[in-house]
Structure 1
Amino acid sequence: MRKAARHLTLARLPIFGCAGFIAFLFLANVWNYAVERDWPKLRIRSAAPLKGLRKMAPTPWTVEAFLAGETQKAASSNLGRAMPVFPISVRAKNQLVFSLFGSSAAPGVAVGRNGQLFEPIYIDEFCRRGDAPDYARISQWAATIREIQDATDAAGKAFVFLISPSKAGRYPADLPASAICAARATSMPDKLAPYVAALREKGVRFVDGAGLIAAHRDDFEIPLFPRGGTHWNLLGASLALEEMSRIAPSAIGPFAFTWAVAPEPHGPDRDLIDLLNLLWPDLTYPTAMIERAGAPGACEKAPRVLAMGGSFLHQIIVSVTRAPCPPKTDYWFYMRLPDYGIELGHYEIVPGEADGEKGDADLSILDRNLRDADLVVLEENEANIGLTQQVGHLRDATRRRAPL
Structure 2
Amino acid sequence: MKKILFFIIIVAFLAVLSLPLLQMKFDFVKEQQLVGVFSSTEQPMWTKDNWFAGNFQATSTSWFEDNFGFRSYLVKTDNQINWTVFNEISSKTNTRLIRGLDNYLYEYAYIDEYSRRPEKKITDLEWEVQMLKRFQDELKKRGIEFLFVISPSKAALYPEYIPASYIFGDRQSLSRSYDIVVDYLDTYGVQYIDGHTIVRNIKDQTDYEVFTKGGTHWNYYAACKVNEQIIGKLEILFGKKMNHVVCDPPIVDTDAYGMDEDLIGLTNIWTDEDVVGSVPHPPLDIQEPNNTFIPNMLFVGDSFSHPLLQVMDNRVYRYRELLYYFKRRITFDNGVYSETTDDILNWERNIGDKDIVILENNESYMHDIGFGFVEYALTILESGMYDDT
- Mark the CA change 1:174 to 1:70 in structure 2 (over 3 Å): closer, same or farther: farther
Cross-structure match for 2:271: 280
- 1:332 maps to which of 318, 323, 336: 323
- Measured after TM superposition, the shift of residue 313 of structure 1 is 0.6
- Measured after TM superposition, the shift of residue 380 of structure 1 is 1.4
- 1:207 maps to which of 193, 201, 215: 193
Cross-structure match for 2:57: 72
- Mark the CA change 1:174 to 1:328 in structure 2 (over 3 Å): closer, same or farther: same
Is structure 2 residue 261 aligned with structure 1 residue 270? yes
Cross-structure match for 1:370: 351
- Measured after TM superposition, the shift of residue 318 of structure 1 is 1.3
- Measured after TM superposition, the shift of residue 103 of structure 1 is 2.0
Q: Is the 8 A contact 2:220 2:282 kept in 1?
A: yes
Q: Residue 273 of structure 1 aligns to a residue in which SS?
A: helix
Structure 2 distance, partners of 1:212, 1:63, is 65
Q: Is the 8 A contact 2:209 2:280 kept in 1?
A: no
Is structure 2 residue 25 aligned with structure 1 residue 25? no
Cross-structure match for 1:50: 34
Cross-structure match for 2:222: 236
- 1:296 maps to which of 288, 292, 298: 288
TM-score by length of 2: 0.81
User: Which structure 2 residues correspond to residues 331-370 of structure 1 after superposition, within 5 A?
Assistant: 331-334=322-325, 344-351=327-334, 356-365=337-346, 367-370=348-351
Q: Is the 8 A contact 2:147 2:193 kept in 1?
A: yes
Q: Is the 8 A contact 1:237 1:315 kept in 2?
A: yes
- 2:309 maps to which of 310, 317, 324: 317
Cross-structure match for 2:100: 112
- Measured after TM superposition, the shift of residue 191 of structure 1 is 3.2
- Mark the CA change 1:402 to 1:26 in structure 2 (over 3 Å): closer, same or farther: farther
Cα deviation 1:87-142 (Å, max 9, x = unaligned): 111110111111112221124321011111011121222223484x5333222211
Q: Name the % identity.
A: 23
Q: Is the 8 A contact 1:46 1:84 kept in 2?
A: no
Cross-structure match for 1:3: none
TM-score by length of 1: 0.78
Structure 1 distance, partners of 2:377, 2:161, is 36
Which moves more between the two structures, 212-221 or 223-232?
212-221
- Measured after TM superposition, the shift of residue 360 of structure 1 is 4.4
Cα deviation 1:178-219 (Å, max 9, x = unaligned): 3142x5687663432221121112111011112222333122
Q: Residue 243 of structure 1 aligns to a residue in which SS?
A: helix
Cross-structure match for 1:392: 375
Q: Residue 384 of structure 1 aligns to a residue in which SS?
A: helix
Letter in 2 for 1:288: P
Structure 1 distance, partners of 2:284, 2:114, is 35
Structure 2 distance, partners of 1:173, 1:265, is 22
Q: Is the 8 A contact 2:132 2:374 kept in 1?
A: yes
Aligned length: 370
- 2:112 maps to which of 124, 127, 136: 124
- Measured after TM superposition, the shift of residue 293 of structure 1 is 5.8
Letter in 2 for 1:362: D
Structure 2 distance, partners of 1:395, 1:66, is 55
- Where in structure 1 are there 5+ consecutive unaligned residues? 1-7, 32-42, 335-342
Is structure 2 residue 131 aligned with structure 1 residue 144? yes
Q: Residue 278 of structure 1 aligns to a residue in which SS?
A: coil
Letter in 2 for 1:88: Y
Q: Is the 8 A contact 1:265 1:287 kept in 2?
A: yes
Q: Is the 8 A contact 2:297 2:357 kept in 1?
A: yes
- Mark the CA change 1:130 to 1:359 in structure 2 (over 3 Å): closer, same or farther: closer
- Mark the CA change 1:64 to 1:220 in structure 2 (over 3 Å): closer, same or farther: farther
Structure 1 distance, partners of 2:388, 2:221, is 37
Cross-structure match for 1:4: none
Cross-structure match for 2:165: 178
Cross-structure match for 1:36: none
Q: Is the 8 A contact 1:290 1:319 kept in 2?
A: no
- Mark the CA change 1:69 to 1:178 in structure 2 (over 3 Å): closer, same or farther: farther
Q: Is the 8 A contact 1:165 1:381 kept in 2?
A: yes
Structure 2 distance, partners of 1:162, 1:301, is 21
Cross-structure match for 2:141: 154
- Measured after TM superposition, the shift of residue 303 of structure 1 is 3.5
Letter in 2 for 1:291: P
Structure 2 distance, partners of 1:93, 1:308, is 40
- Measured after TM superposition, the shift of residue 367 of structure 1 is 4.7
Structure 1 distance, partners of 2:197, 2:48, is 58
